[in-house]
Structure 1
Amino acid sequence: MRDSITLDSTRLQRLQQTPLWDFALTLYARPGVEAACLKLQEEAGLDVCEMLFHCWLYSCGLEAEPRALAYQREQRHLWQCHVTEVLRGLRQDLKASAAESESVKALRETIKQAELMAERENLQRWQAWASASPSDEERVVNVVEMSLDVDKWLLKQLFLGRCARQGEGGIKEQNEWLDSLQTLTCQLDPHQGAR
């Protein structure tokens, strides 16, 4: 293994001391991040939890190992499809009715809380996966070079092993996605994880 990617114990310790859920709540609350995440979710088909996961790793000076990431991504995608998106769909379907009925409004709020709990569970599973690295499978590695173009780094991480949606304006869409990713990544300290 090259020395440049040998895991740094300081980075792993930072990862273990910073719960992904807490990191995600803090980042998501920063100006423009929520809107950028939702835009990327709707227009690029990206998973907000995975975006926040990669930002968390990067803030600790780490990145996911591509081969190990593929299986975990599939598991997290299944959770999102079968649990989180079902709850989100129910909540959205009840929006109009909630405006006319207090009991439906209360039901919708309960579903909203369940959706949030599903997102939290998904993030906790991402964190457990990154933290519990068995000796036969390296899951996270040091970011070899902390990039000034963190938005491009994040785009690469999110599209590892999958094709980007290419509509008529594929290049234009990717530039818009980079703008949204830059909104996320400008909130990260690119030097924090490299110390």
Structure 2
Amino acid sequence: MWASPLPKPPESFWPYALDAYARPGVAEACLTAQDAHGADVPLLLWGAWAAARSHTLTEADLAAAATVATRWRAPVIAPLRQARRALKALAASAAENEALRQAVKATELEAERLYMAALEQVAGRWPAPAPSCPQALHDNLARLLPPEAALVTERLHKALS
């Protein structure tokens, strides 16, 4: 089912991101890009969403996204992710620690949703959505990942295509 492009362009980024992340191989490739290359998973999914709308990211898009990322990534999402990961070891020792970890995880997810909503606002100046463009997907991923992540870029491109 996921091998063919969507019949009509996705209107909203958040539902697209959830669907895309659930595709086989996408989560693994995104997390590899994040852990090995410092990639921003919401930005990668945003680039894929742009391509699904047949939009190739411009320098202006990347600059606007960088501004949004600066407001969300380091000050909000990174500390929540760090807390969630730290709580994982503590959760094994006591149920109340697991409850706290789950609460932090839910807060991290909500912060990512709000971050993605801010990224979606950048799309307000894009042309009207058109059917998905495979070349735009490749180009967008290549612009959002460093050159040394070429293998991850190809894996993610294949998983999202």
Residues 1:116 and 2:73 aligned together: no
Structure 1 gap ranges (5+):
1-13, 134-139, 165-169, 187-195
For 2:136 and 2:58, the matched residues in 1 are separated by 19
In the alignment, structure 1 residue 102 sits paired with structure 2 residue 77? no
Q: Return the alpha-carbon distance in structure 2 between the equivalents of residues 78 and 71 of structure 1.
A: 11
In structure 2, the residue matched to 1:75 is 68
Greater alpha carbon shift after TM alignment, 93-102 vs 75-84: 75-84
- 8 Å Cα contact 1:27/1:33 also seen in 2: yes
User: Which of 131, 135, 140 is 1:154 aligned to?
Assistant: 140
Give the total of aligned pairs: 151
Instruction: Give the structure 2 partner of residue 7 of structure 1.
Output: none
Q: Residue 63 of structure 1: CA displacement?
A: 2.5
Q: CA deviation at 1:149?
A: 8.2
Q: Letter of the aligned partner of 1:115 in structure 2?
A: E
Greater displacement, 116-125 / 73-82: 73-82
2:16 to 12, 23, 37: 23
| Bigger mean CA deviation after superposition, 76-85 or 115-124 | 76-85
Secondary structure of the 1:67 match is: helix
The sequence identity of aligned pairs, in percent, is: 29
Are residues 69 and 101 of structure 1, via their aligned partners in 2, closer, same or farther at CA, if it must alter by over 3 Å?
same
The TM-score with structure 1 as length reference comes to 0.68
Q: Which residue of 1 aligns with 2:4?
A: none
List gaps (5 residues or longer) in structure 2: 1-7
Name the counterpart of 1:91.
Answer: 84
Q: Is the counterpart of residue 37 in structure 1 residue 12 in structure 2?
A: no
Higher helix share: 2
Q: Is the 8 A contact 1:40 1:180 kept in 2?
A: no
CA distance in 1, matches of 2:59, 2:151: 25
Q: Secondary structure at the match of 2:56?
A: strand
Q: Deviations over 1:103-125 (max 9, x none)?
A: 11100000000000011001111
Q: Distance in 2 between matches of 1:130 and 1:55?
A: 13
- Give the whole-Å Cα distance in 2 for the aligned partners of 1:25 and 1:155: 18
Code of the residue aligned with 1:117 in structure 2: it is: E
- Relative to structure 1, the CA distance from residue 150 to residue 58 in structure 2 (aligned partners, 3 Å threshold; closer, same or farther) is closer
Taking only aligned residues, the RMSD between alpha carbons, in angstroms, comes to 2.4
Contact map agreement 2:33 2:39 (CA 8 A) in 1? yes
1:59 equivalent to 2:46? Answer: no
Which residue of structure 1 lines up, in the alignment, with residue 153 of structure 2? 178
Query: 8 Å contact 2:50–2:56 — kept in the other structure?
Result: yes
Aligned AA (1:185): L
The offset of 1:141, in angstroms, is: 5.3
Q: 1:71 to 1:149 in 2, by over 3 A?
A: closer
Residue identity matched to 1:31: P
CA shift for structure 1 position 48: 0.5
